[in-house]
């Protein structure tokens, strides 16, 4: 059973930074895609960034230039470094993974991922 546990959320002021972490367990092999999504109250879950099994990143427009996705295979941990945060970044942030694909196609649909964490809250105040 794949398990994903996020951490690192919190409250920051506009312009601040946070680094989210997601520890993965329960599956073997290195051929999988992982990603970060977020969901604000009353809005749909939105894809932010994904990373292929070879470490190649991809970003949604909302994340380009401010967010960086990375992973440490030795620690089974996925990261999201978020800089220059804005109030509109306020949301619950979710880690996602899918071991059936090795390269992400960039549709940013939650249906692309089969496993999800419980989320970590990020609040950005003005």
How far from 33 is each of 39, 49, 58, 103, 126, CA to CA, in Å? 20, 11, 11, 6, 34
Question: 126, exposed or middle or buried, with CB in 10 Å at 0-12, 13-18, 19+?
Answer: exposed
The residue among 3 and 100 whose pLDDT is bigger is 3
Contact 32, 101 (CB under 8 A): yes
Give pLDDT, residue 100.
85
pLDDT score at 13: 98
Question: pLDDT, tens digit, for every residue of 82-108?
Answer: 999 999 999 999 999 998 888 888 888
């Amino acid at each position: 059973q794949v398990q994903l546990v996020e951490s690192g959320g919190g409250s920051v002021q506009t312009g601040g930074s946070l680094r989210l972490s997601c520890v993965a367990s329960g599956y073997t092999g290195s051929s999988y895609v992982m990603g970060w999504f977020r969901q604000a109250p009353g809005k749909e879950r939105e894809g932010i960034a994904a990373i292929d099994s070879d470490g190649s990143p991809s970003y949604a427009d909302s994340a380009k230039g401010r967010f960086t996705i990375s992973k440490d295979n030795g620690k089974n941990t996925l990261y999201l470094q978020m800089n220059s945060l804005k109030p509109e970044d306020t949301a619950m942030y979710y880690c996602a993974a899918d071991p059936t694909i090795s390269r992400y196609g960039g549709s940013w649909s939650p249906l692309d991922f089969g496993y999800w964490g419980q989320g970590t809250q990020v609040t950005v105040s003005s």
